[in-house]
Structure 1
Amino acid sequence: MRIAIAGAGAVGRSIALELLESKHQVMLIERELANIEPESVEGAEWVHADACELASLEEAGLESCDVVIAATGDDKVNVVVSLLAKTEFAVRRVVARVNDPRNEWLFSDNWGVDVAVSTPRLLAALVEEAVAVGDLVRLLTFRQGQANLVEVTLTPDTPLAGQPVRSLKLPPDSALVVILRGGRVIVPQADDALEGGDELLFVATSAVEEDIRAALGY
C-alpha cells in the first residue's frame, strides 16, 4: 500500500519505519524544514509541505495514497488533514492521532476520520488489559461503523473451559475475531475449545458490550 503520514516528528518517523519494514510505500509530509531528515527514514519519500494546504497535497499526489495518517502533535492540524484527505482526495482509510483526549469528539467520520488513536486512552486501556481478568476492556474505537475492539481475559476457573466456540451465545452486532493463548494467535473456528486464561478479542458495537460480558458469564 501507499501510505502518507502528515507530521515527521518522532511519532511520524516511528510509524514510517514500521510500515517500511512491512514493505509499504511511505510518504512523509512535514511543514518544518528543520524536521526534514531523510537519513532518519531512508526508505520514505519526503515532502516539504504544509499538509493543511490543498495545493500542497495535490502536488504531493495524495490521491494516489491508500491510507493517510495524520500524526502531528496538533489536533487541529490532524482534523484538517483528515477532512481534506477524505473529502478532496477520496482516500480510502484515514487514521488520526488524538493528542488531547478532550478533543476526541472531533475525530469522527464527520471530519473524515475512520480510526482515531488516542495515546492516553490507549495506554490506559493497555494497563487495564494487563491487570483485568474477567472484565471487558475497550481497546480501540473504529469511527466508521461505530464499532469497538474489546478484550476479555477468561478467568482460570471459567465454566467455559472445554466448551467449543460455537457454544457462545453472542449478541447481534458482535463477533469473536481472535483468541490469544500463550504465544499463539488463534483465528477461532466453531469447534475450537476455550481455555481458562484465553484472551478473547471481539469487534462489537457499544450497545452490546454488556451482553458479551453476560454471554461469558461475567
Structure 2
Amino acid sequence: MRIAIAGAGAVGQSIARELIEGDHQVMLIERSTENYRPKNIDAAEWVLADACELASLEEAGIESCDVVIAATGDDKVNLVVSLLSKTEFAVRRVVARVNDPRNEWLFTDAWGVDVAVSTPRMLAAGVEEAVSVGDLVRLMTLRQGQANLVEITLPEGTPLAGRRVRDLKLPENAALVTILRGGRVIVPQSDDPLEAGDEMLFVATDDVEQEIRAVVHDTQNRA
C-alpha cells in the first residue's frame, strides 16, 4: 500500500517507521527544513513541500496514494490536507490527527476525513482502560460511518466465562471484531469460549454502546 504522511515531526516519523515495518510504501511531506531529515528514515520517500498547496500535492503524486495521513501539529493544516486529498485527488482513505479535542467535531467527511484520531482522547482512553476493568472505553471514532471502536475487559468472576461468542446477544449496529487474550489476537468465531480478562473490541454506533455494556455484564444474557 502506498501511504502519504503530511507532517514529518515526531508523530509523522513514528507512524512512518511503523508502516515501513509493515512493508508499506511511505512518502513523508514536510514544509519545515528543520523537520526535513531524510537520513532519519531513508526507506521513506521525502518531499519538501507545503501539503496545503494544491500544486505541491499534485507534484508529489498524491493521487497515486491509497491512504493519506494528516499528522501535523496544526488542526487547520490537517483539515485542509484532508479536504484537498479527498476532493481534489480522490484519495480512498484519509486519516487525520486531532490535536485539540475542542476541534474534534470538525473532523468529519465534510472535510474529507474518514478516520479522526484524537491524541488527547486516546491518551485518556488508555488511562481509563488501565484502571477500569469491566467498563466500556471508547478508543477511537470512525467518522465515515459515525461508529466507534470501543473496548471492554471481562472482569474476574464474570458470568460469561465459559460461555460462547454466539451467546452474546448484541444489538444491531454492533459487532465484536477482536478478542485480545494474553499475547494472542483472536478473530472471534461463534464457538469460541469467553474468559475472564478477555479484552473485547467492538465497532458500534453511539446509541448502542450502553446496550453492549449490558450484554457483556450479562444483564441480558442470563439463562
TM-score category, normalised to shorter length: over 0.9
Matched position secondary structure for 2:34 = helix
Q: Count residues in correspondence.
A: 218
Distance 1:37 1:135 in 2: 43
Matched position secondary structure for 1:16 = helix
Matched position secondary structure for 1:47 = strand
- Report Cα offsets for 1:84-139 as digits up to 9, x if no partner: 00000010110111111111111111100111111111000011111111111101
Aligned to 2:5: 5
Aligned to 1:101: 101
Aligned to 1:176: 176
Aligned to 2:215: 215
Aligned to 1:144: 144
- Residue type matched to 1:87 in 2? T
- Which consecutive aligned stretches of 4+ in structure 1 deviate over 6 angstroms post-superposition? none
Aligned to 2:55: 55
How far is the alpha carbon of 1:33 from its aligned partner? Answer: 2.0
Aligned to 2:200: 200
Distance 1:18 1:176 in 2: 26
Structure 1 gaps, min length 5:
none
How far is the alpha carbon of 1:34 from its aligned partner? Answer: 2.7
Distance 1:24 1:183 in 2: 24
- Report Cα offsets for 1:43-80 as digits up to 9, x if no partner: 11111111001011111100000000001111100000
Distance 1:123 1:83 in 2: 26
How far is the alpha carbon of 1:35 from its aligned partner? Answer: 2.0
Aligned to 1:16: 16
Matched position secondary structure for 2:8 = coil
Matched position secondary structure for 2:145 = coil
Distance 2:70 2:32 in 1: 15
Structure 2 gaps, min length 5:
none
Distance 1:124 1:34 in 2: 30
Matched position secondary structure for 1:33 = coil
% identical equivalent positions: 78
Matched position secondary structure for 1:178 = strand
Matched position secondary structure for 1:141 = strand
Aligned to 1:75: 75
- Residue type matched to 2:105 in 1? W
Aligned to 2:30: 30
Matched position secondary structure for 1:124 = helix
How far is the alpha carbon of 1:191 from its aligned partner? Answer: 0.7
Aligned to 2:186: 186
Distance 1:102 1:11 in 2: 20
